[in-house]
Amino acid sequence: MNRALLVLVLLIGFAGVTATALPTPEGPIRHVETIEGFGNNLTAGDTDQVTVAFENHVRQPLPVYTVLTAVSSEGINGGEFTLSTTLLSENTERSQTAELDCRYVGNRNPYEGVYLCSSNDTTVLPGTTQPSWNTLNTEIMTALNTAPGTYHFRMDVLSRIGLPARPPVREPAPKHADTRIVLDGITVTVNASQDATVTVEPYDTLVIPGPDGRKLVSGLGLDVGTETAAVPFDGTITFDYSAATEPSTLAIYQHDGTQWKRLDSTVHMKPRQITAPVNETGV
């Protein structure tokens, strides 16, 4: 299935925390070369460009995302730039191009803004006898109200919105029957409207900032569908939490591909769990 996974994460809030850290991506997507637009003097109406080349070393197509970080001593609020990103993917058999959708998703701190470029239907070509060769080019257009100054840009290539903690688990979900998956302190129960497959992929790291300065405790990607389409469902997700965690700081969030949405969750003291209903597919 090429659909992106629903990202559900258990997040914890602490006073003074500004955002989750963005790690260096690892896994099947491998960096080969990064061209960075560091120290460029820009003013209203100017354009800049950042290009990343990378290889896909596995023999299957992979979804691809980019995280572009803009840095300025004057501060970043998300309104300074508009991004346009193009992917060129080639292997020994063919080539293809695609456009990614870009949006501002938040700040690491007042001086570093983060932009996410992604597409639910865009994948890089699989490797064959050799890795596929891929280039992502992002054109950065400066808004007319942007203050003149020196701006730094860095772009990272990722294969998920979260970095997987382990391989995904897939289970058949018979029509109108509860399907229950338990792994790594997370329990997912799904009741699908027709025969489907449930895919659960645990995340131990986010690659975009969490909402409201929250930090990741645990997370997962969830997909319910057939080989060609998403399937409507009703379900619940339950996260275990440790005795050292203050329950009032916990919340479950969903990322819809554009922004975080806090789910209506219930915190239990015995056993130490937090539960929320879920009935949407998507990012």
Secondary structure in 3-state letters for 44-101: CCCEEEEEEEEEECCCCCEECEEEEEEECCCCCCCCCEEEEEEEEEECCCCEEEEEEE
Same domain, 139 and 189: no
121 with 211, same domain: the answer is no
197 falls within a domain: yes
Domain boundary among 124, 158, 192: 158
Q: Based on the domain organization, do 154 and 167 belong to the same domain?
A: no
**pLDDT computed for residue 120 by the predictor:** 63
**Same domain flag for 94 and 36:** yes
Residue 66 within any structural domain of the chain: yes
Q: Please state the domain count of the chain.
A: 2
The answer to whether position 92 is within a domain reads yes
Q: Same domain, yes or no, for 37 and 145?
A: yes
Q: Which domain holds residue 271?
A: 6-17+163-278
Same domain for 213 and 132 = no
d(CA 142, CA 84): 12
What pLDDT is attached to residue 263? 86
145 conformational bin, left if phi > 0, alpha if psi -120 to 50, beta if neither: alpha
The β-bridge relationship of strands 273-278 and 266-268 is antiparallel
Q: Radius of gyration (Cα) for the chain, nearest Å?
A: 20
Residue stretches of the chain with pLDDT short of 70: 1-40, 58, 120-121, 159-167, 204-209, 256-259, 280-283
Q: Give the model's pLDDT for residue 225.
A: 85
Residues 37 and 125 in one domain: yes
Say whether both 120 and 217 belong to one domain.
no
Neighbours of 145 (CB within 10 A): 8
pTM: 0.55
11 and 47 in a common domain = no
pLDDT of residue 90: 95
205 and 114 in a common domain: no
Indicate the burial class of 153 (C-beta count within 10 angstroms; 0-12, 13-18, 19 or more): buried
Same domain, 173 and 116: no
- Looking at the DSSP assignment, which residues form a beta bridge with residue 70? 113, 153
Domain match, 62 and 103 both: yes
Residue at which a domain ends, from 158, 173, 201: 158
- Domain contains 1: no
pLDDT at 208: 64
How much is the pLDDT for 160?
60
pLDDT for position 163? 58
Q: How far apart are CA 175 and CA 105, in angstroms?
A: 37
CATH number (domain holding residue 145): 2.60.40
